Structure 1
Amino acid sequence: MSKQNTMVEQLADWAHNLRWDDLSDEAKEALKGRVLDSIGVAIGALGSEPVEKIRRMTEDIGGAELVTLIGGGKTTPDYGTFFNSAAIRYLDYNDSYLAKEETGHPSDNIAPVMAAAETANADGRDFLLALAIAYQVQCRLTDVAPVRKHGFDHTVQGAYGAAAGAARAMGLSSTQIANAVAIVGTGYNSLRVTRTGELSNWKGLAYPSTAMGAVHASMLAKYGITGPREVFEGNKGFMDSIAGAFELDWKDEDLERVTDTIIKRYNAEIHSQSSIEGLLELRERENIAPENIKAIRLKTFDVAYNIIGGGEEGGKKLIRYKEEADHSLPYMLAAAYLDGQVMPEQYDPDRITRDDIQKLLQKVDVQPNEAYSNRFPDEMACHIELETHDGSVFEMEKRDYQGFTTQPASWDVLMEKYNKLTSGMDSKIAARIADTIKNLEHVNIRDLTELLGEVKIKEDDDK
């Protein structure tokens, strides 16, 4: 008598049997929008110190030239994934998915799925379908199996999505997909300390490491290596050790979760977006000089307070470098008010340490609000008070922002962001990349990766 299929085998059967026509038109357009957004963010990150260090490491390691690096060069699928994923992730400016108890960044799956697709010489449809699978798996596990409260990072759910998408993009069998997912799901259970206390470069590299592991696991599975078939429900498996029991019937899943992801308008942690937009609107409306500000008081939902507001994941007023700054509501709000924007340049070392921003961030007070917490994740509600030294108080309330599910970013809005981030490269190549992404279902994935290999940031760029 044959054994009943385990959950990872059910997931693999579902992923293997999906076809292009299973994607809705809305999902197809959302996927292309997320690719455009993430590639723009990656190009914008190419000159950053950690990404440059990883490039040097990758060049020193070498390896079979199978996967194209954004910005030129080729390497192995796993190391290519790590570099490209690091570029996508470093600025912390790519998309997010909100569940009640967990937030992830499913566009982190673009690099592993793209590397797998390039290795397999897949067409654009194969790539987009595999990417939709990665999105769906990560987002649905985020819904039903949150891990942050247990001390683990959101990259844990991402490992399953990245492996499912990469293995499908490689054209692996159902059994091989199951092995890839089981291997990476067993081996990549990152600790939440990645994003608490004193932050490090690893904040932006935890998912790239997981993504690299997902591609490596897919390659292992391709060559016949097996993984624990009871990775989800088995003794000391994911449920038993980390998430607790949950139910998920993969055969009933669609591919629509990508349409529920949200885009960052500002280069800031996702839960800050509505408060930054609100403060900027208040700034424009009242035109109060920064030196006249006595206090900025923010009431927000509990997730924002706990992660970036000074709650359970640590204080947010000792800000010394980029990784701390882009996970600090006080810093991001101070930067927004002083500079009128929050973009990569707000995290330059000399900007972070300047007196004006260091003084203003100390005047920001963040508190959780139960009513706003109850409205999350359907809303990103907040209330801002700005008090001046003469006792006047000015207020602003927000429930969402441009890029949220209630105000989805159009292709034109995404292009505005993309054009800003790619302003340091040849505009003709940037335009060709965007056009290729817009028509991705009609081309081979190598048509895109070859263009990404042509990206060169101008040395005299002073954006």
Structure 2
Amino acid sequence: MHPLSEYDSTIKEIASYTAKDHDFSHTALKSVKLALLDAMGCALLANQFKACSKLLGPIVKGTIVPKGSRVIGTKYVLDPVNAAFQNGLLIRWLDYNDTFLAKEWGHPSDNLGALLSLSDFISRSPKRKAAPTVLDLLKAMVKAYEIQGVLALETSYNRVGFDHIALVKVASSALSAFLFGLDESQIAATVSQAFIDVGSLRTYRHAPNTGSRKSWAAGDATSKGVFLAYLVSKGEMGYPKALSSHKFGLSDVLFNGKPITLGRPLGSYIAENILFKVSFPAEFHAQTAVECAIKLHPKIKNRFHDIEKIEIQTQESANRIINKPGPFHNPADRDHSLQYMVAVGLAKGSLLADDYEDEAERNEPLFLELIKKMKVYENKKFSEEYLDPELRSIANSIKITFKSETNPIEEHLDFPLGHKSRREESVPFILNKFKKNTASFYSKNKTGIILDLFEEEEELFRMPVSKFMEYFIH
């Protein structure tokens, strides 16, 4: 095993941060507790979609792993690598979990696939002296969020055609190594393996190839983090210059020699600034656009025939990745179309996961009629404020012009519900979202028990993760 001193500085910083205990702020822990609650609700809702649930279960039918990891909302007990994949895909499936946006973007609760599954497995191991508690899980979440998000501040994988799940793999590998009880140099070895793995091409997120892989790609990444940590726990070596090696290091291969750096010192910045998807499952660059559309709905619901054009101003990132007027081949195509999401909001005054299904488009011709009237533009000010670390806005505006002589109407929002600047306003809505998602899956009585679980914070924090998971198995 290579000594820690030989590793690239970014890998060393990640390993050092991961290995240490930190006194995280109450704000950070409160934020990830809310994110855990939200992610579990997203997973329960996703369980009810056949395209998702068909991917669950053991590869060999009937297999149950003694003292293994549980899969949310099911009876399955699997090895922690496979469980991480399945818990990860459940949390991510509906594009409804939390988000962080920078030069790269992503969904930090994607890492819960690894953190939950491995903590559950370790908690149930008779060889483990101290079972990981929910508080341990929350601290691991803060670290995973920080690693993924801070790496996203200065380096854009999407611009070179690679998917943001590369950063999920790095964060999940670091925290999986930590949960396995590995030392700092072993954590570095695991992280180097993850960087060498890079990630997937973004092919499956963009027309004409948009497909359901984008809903399980994070599960794939987080489970690979567990697997890499497992290999290192068995003595597998690391690669100290995974980032900086001439010609074959990640820096040269993808970024023309630009170093892979951390955008700020590692602490709890990401957890404190995380974005929650509160009201509807929509790609986050479109959240304010959908809010605007829903606000406009009452003003236009009797005037659809009179609309001449719909102008949407957005940020550069949204213009590049979700400016997609169709045609739409599947739900994954629709939930990454700015136009489709806005059209549903304008037509219905709401946006639900079911609205992305093929039947929804077939049954409501108004969606496509509205899309034909749309033009999407980048607003430079929106783009600048999107990258401003003091603002982190996700601005959109919608202007509707009518055929008649009436004045156009317009809505503009800089910060969506779920943004740090609207966090207190958001909390009741996030709790209601969780209650609604849980009640759609469990009985009223069990839903009440689970809600009470999150209210009793001290008891929750002391609870072993294995016991916590028992509340969410079928």
* TM-score by shorter chain over 0.5: yes
Residue 53 of structure 2 is aligned to residue 52 of structure 1: yes
In the alignment, the residues of structure 2 paired with residue 25 and residue 234 of structure 1 have an alpha-carbon distance, to the nearest angstrom, of: 40
- Is the CA contact (8 Å cut-off) linking 1:130 and 1:166 kept in structure 2? no
Deviation at 1:138, TM superposition (A): 0.4
How many residues of Structure 1 are paired with residues of Structure 2 in the alignment?
445
The equivalent of 2:416 in structure 1 is 401
In the alignment, the residues of structure 2 paired with residue 145 and residue 435 of structure 1 have an alpha-carbon distance, to the nearest angstrom, of: 41
In the alignment, the residues of structure 1 paired with residue 62 and residue 181 of structure 2 have an alpha-carbon distance, to the nearest angstrom, of: 27
Change (3 A) 1:180 1:432: farther
The equivalent of 1:228 in structure 2 is 239
Give the secondary-structure state (helix, strand or coil) at the position aligned to 2:421: coil
Change (3 A) 1:435 1:389: same
What letter corresponds to residue 27 of structure 1 in structure 2? A
Give the secondary-structure state (helix, strand or coil) at the position aligned to 2:313: strand
Deviation at 1:125, TM superposition (A): 2.0
Residue 393 of structure 2 is aligned to residue 379 of structure 1: yes
Deviation at 1:106, TM superposition (A): 0.8
Unaligned 5+ runs, structure 2? 124-131
In the alignment, the residues of structure 1 paired with residue 245 and residue 410 of structure 2 have an alpha-carbon distance, to the nearest angstrom, of: 53
What letter corresponds to residue 102 of structure 1 in structure 2? E
The equivalent of 1:180 in structure 2 is 190
In the alignment, the residues of structure 2 paired with residue 58 and residue 126 of structure 1 have an alpha-carbon distance, to the nearest angstrom, of: 30
The equivalent of 1:106 in structure 2 is 108
In the alignment, the residues of structure 1 paired with residue 402 and residue 168 of structure 2 have an alpha-carbon distance, to the nearest angstrom, of: 44
- Given candidates 200, 206, 212, the residue that maps to 1:201 is 212
Residue 257 of structure 2 is aligned to residue 240 of structure 1: no
- Given candidates 312, 320, 323, the residue that maps to 1:306 is 320
In the alignment, the residues of structure 2 paired with residue 218 and residue 387 of structure 1 have an alpha-carbon distance, to the nearest angstrom, of: 56
- Is the CA contact (8 Å cut-off) linking 1:194 and 1:206 kept in structure 2? no
The equivalent of 1:191 in structure 2 is 201
Change (3 A) 1:251 1:94: closer
What letter corresponds to residue 447 of structure 1 in structure 2? K
Deviation at 1:434, TM superposition (A): 3.7
The equivalent of 2:376 in structure 1 is 366
What letter corresponds to residue 43 of structure 2 in structure 1? A
- Is the CA contact (8 Å cut-off) linking 1:94 and 1:263 kept in structure 2? yes
Unaligned 5+ runs, structure 1? 311-315, 455-463
What letter corresponds to residue 105 of structure 1 in structure 2? H
The equivalent of 1:78 in structure 2 is 81
More displaced stretch, 58-67 vs 74-83: 58-67
Change (3 A) 1:62 1:228: farther
- Is the CA contact (8 Å cut-off) linking 1:14 and 1:250 kept in structure 2? no
Residue by residue over 1:318-365, the C-alpha shift from the partner in whole angstroms, topping out at 9 and shown as x without a partner, is 113200110011111111112211111212321022322222222222
Give the secondary-structure state (helix, strand or coil) at the position aligned to 2:399: strand
The equivalent of 2:276 in structure 1 is 263
Change (3 A) 1:53 1:331: same
More displaced stretch, 168-177 vs 208-217: 168-177
Change (3 A) 1:13 1:120: same
The equivalent of 1:135 in structure 2 is 145
In the alignment, the residues of structure 2 paired with residue 213 and residue 194 of structure 1 have an alpha-carbon distance, to the nearest angstrom, of: 19
Deviation at 1:180, TM superposition (A): 2.0
In the alignment, the residues of structure 1 paired with residue 237 and residue 447 of structure 2 have an alpha-carbon distance, to the nearest angstrom, of: 41
The equivalent of 2:341 in structure 1 is 332
- Is the CA contact (8 Å cut-off) linking 1:15 and 1:133 kept in structure 2? yes
The equivalent of 1:145 in structure 2 is 155
In the alignment, the residues of structure 2 paired with residue 171 and residue 292 of structure 1 have an alpha-carbon distance, to the nearest angstrom, of: 65
TM superposition score normalised by structure 1 = 0.90
The equivalent of 1:453 in structure 2 is 473
In the alignment, the residues of structure 2 paired with residue 183 and residue 436 of structure 1 have an alpha-carbon distance, to the nearest angstrom, of: 38
- Is the CA contact (8 Å cut-off) linking 2:4 and 2:185 kept in structure 1? no
- How much is the aligned-residue C-alpha RMSD, in angstroms? 2.2
Residue by residue over 1:274-333, the C-alpha shift from the partner in whole angstroms, topping out at 9 and shown as x without a partner, is 1111121122345543333332211111111111114xxxxx321132001100111111
Deviation at 1:201, TM superposition (A): 1.0
- Is the CA contact (8 Å cut-off) linking 1:322 and 1:349 kept in structure 2? yes
Residue by residue over 1:70-108, the C-alpha shift from the partner in whole angstroms, topping out at 9 and shown as x without a partner, is 112211101111111111111001111011x22111110
More displaced stretch, 239-248 vs 399-408: 239-248
Percent sequence identity is: 23
Deviation at 1:130, TM superposition (A): 1.3
TM superposition score normalised by structure 2 = 0.88
The equivalent of 2:128 in structure 1 is none
The equivalent of 1:33 in structure 2 is 34
Give the secondary-structure state (helix, strand or coil) at the position aligned to 2:410: strand
The equivalent of 2:308 in structure 1 is 294
In the alignment, the residues of structure 2 paired with residue 89 and residue 414 of structure 1 have an alpha-carbon distance, to the nearest angstrom, of: 16
Change (3 A) 1:388 1:451: same
Give the secondary-structure state (helix, strand or coil) at the position aligned to 2:56: helix
What letter corresponds to residue 215 of structure 2 in structure 1? G
Deviation at 1:249, TM superposition (A): 6.7
- Is the CA contact (8 Å cut-off) linking 2:297 and 2:347 kept in structure 1? no
- Is the CA contact (8 Å cut-off) linking 2:150 and 2:262 kept in structure 1? no
What letter corresponds to residue 237 of structure 1 in structure 2? G
In the alignment, the residues of structure 2 paired with residue 80 and residue 184 of structure 1 have an alpha-carbon distance, to the nearest angstrom, of: 19
Residue 69 of structure 2 is aligned to residue 67 of structure 1: yes
What letter corresponds to residue 433 of structure 2 in structure 1? K
Give the secondary-structure state (helix, strand or coil) at the position aligned to 2:268: coil
Deviation at 1:152, TM superposition (A): 0.9
- Is the CA contact (8 Å cut-off) linking 2:314 and 2:382 kept in structure 1? yes
Deviation at 1:376, TM superposition (A): 1.2
More displaced stretch, 414-423 vs 88-97: 414-423
Deviation at 1:3, TM superposition (A): 7.8
More displaced stretch, 71-80 vs 365-374: 365-374
- Given candidates 333, 344, 357, the residue that maps to 2:353 is 344
Give the secondary-structure state (helix, strand or coil) at the position aligned to 2:294: helix
- Is the CA contact (8 Å cut-off) linking 2:154 and 2:262 kept in structure 1? no
What letter corresponds to residue 85 of structure 1 in structure 2? G
In the alignment, the residues of structure 2 paired with residue 59 and residue 351 of structure 1 have an alpha-carbon distance, to the nearest angstrom, of: 35
In the alignment, the residues of structure 1 paired with residue 236 and residue 356 of structure 2 have an alpha-carbon distance, to the nearest angstrom, of: 43
Give the secondary-structure state (helix, strand or coil) at the position aligned to 2:423: coil
In the alignment, the residues of structure 1 paired with residue 317 and residue 121 of structure 2 have an alpha-carbon distance, to the nearest angstrom, of: 39
- Is the CA contact (8 Å cut-off) linking 1:51 and 1:83 kept in structure 2? no
The equivalent of 1:413 in structure 2 is 429
The equivalent of 2:291 in structure 1 is 277
Deviation at 1:223, TM superposition (A): 1.7
